Amino acid sequence: ELKVEQNPLFLSMQEGKNYTIYCNYSTTSDRLYWYRQDPGKSLESLFVLLSNGAVKQEGRLMASLDTKARLSTLHITAAVHDLSATYFCAVDKSWGKFQFGAGTQVVVTP
């Protein structure tokens, strides 16, 4: 059974500092997705990582994928309040069936 582990589950960030969220998964997959969820809302797609070594950046967020280590990271540069949300990684088990990580709740404070 595929397991997807995120850590940390909670991250208190200071504005202006850098942080990383980790996503480990247990079986071979070359498709990994990152999403953001605001309270009471659905998921917003952030990144789709499709191959080993893939790196994508959007604003202060950068995601990477190492399929050999079965690890993806979401790096936040110079955190700002607007980034407060819960971040999920998801792995495609098969044919689009996603297994989600537990989520990382991010709170950015001044």
Partner 1 sequence: GAVVSQHPSWVICKSGTSVKIECRSLDFQATTMFWYRQFPKQSLMLMATSNEGSKATYEQGVEKDKFLINHASLTLSTLTVTSAHPEDSSFYICSARDAGSAYNEQFFGPGTRLTVL
> Are 4 and 91 in contact, with CB atoms under 8 Å apart?
yes
For residue 3, count CB atoms less than 10 angstroms from its CB and return exposed for 0-12, middle for 13-18, buried for 19 or more: exposed
Q: Which residue has the tokens 């990152």?
A: 34
Instruction: Examine residue 102 and tell whether it contacts partner 1 (CB under 8 A).
Output: yes
State the distance between the two ends of the chain, measured CA to CA, in whole angstroms: 41
Specify the residue, 9 or 78, whose C-beta has the smaller distance to partner 1. Answer: 9
Instruction: Using CB under 8 A, pick the residue from 42, 69, 82, 110 that binds partner 1.
Output: 42
Of the candidates 8, 41, 52, 58, which one interacts with partner 1 according to CB under 8 A? 41
Which of 68, 82, 95, 110: binder of partner 1 (CB under 8 A)? Answer: 95
Kindly tell me which residue out of 85, 99, 106, 108 binds partner 1, with binding defined by CB under 8 A.
99
Paired residues of 35 in beta bridges: 45, 88
Positive or negative torsion for Cα 39, 45, 51, 53: negative
DSSP classification of residue 95: T
Q: Does 88 bind partner 1 (CB under 8 A)?
A: yes
Q: Is residue 66 involved in binding partner 1 (CB under 8 A)?
A: no
What residues make contact with partner 1 under the rule CB under 8 A?
A: 31, 33, 35, 40-43, 45, 48, 50, 88, 92, 95-103
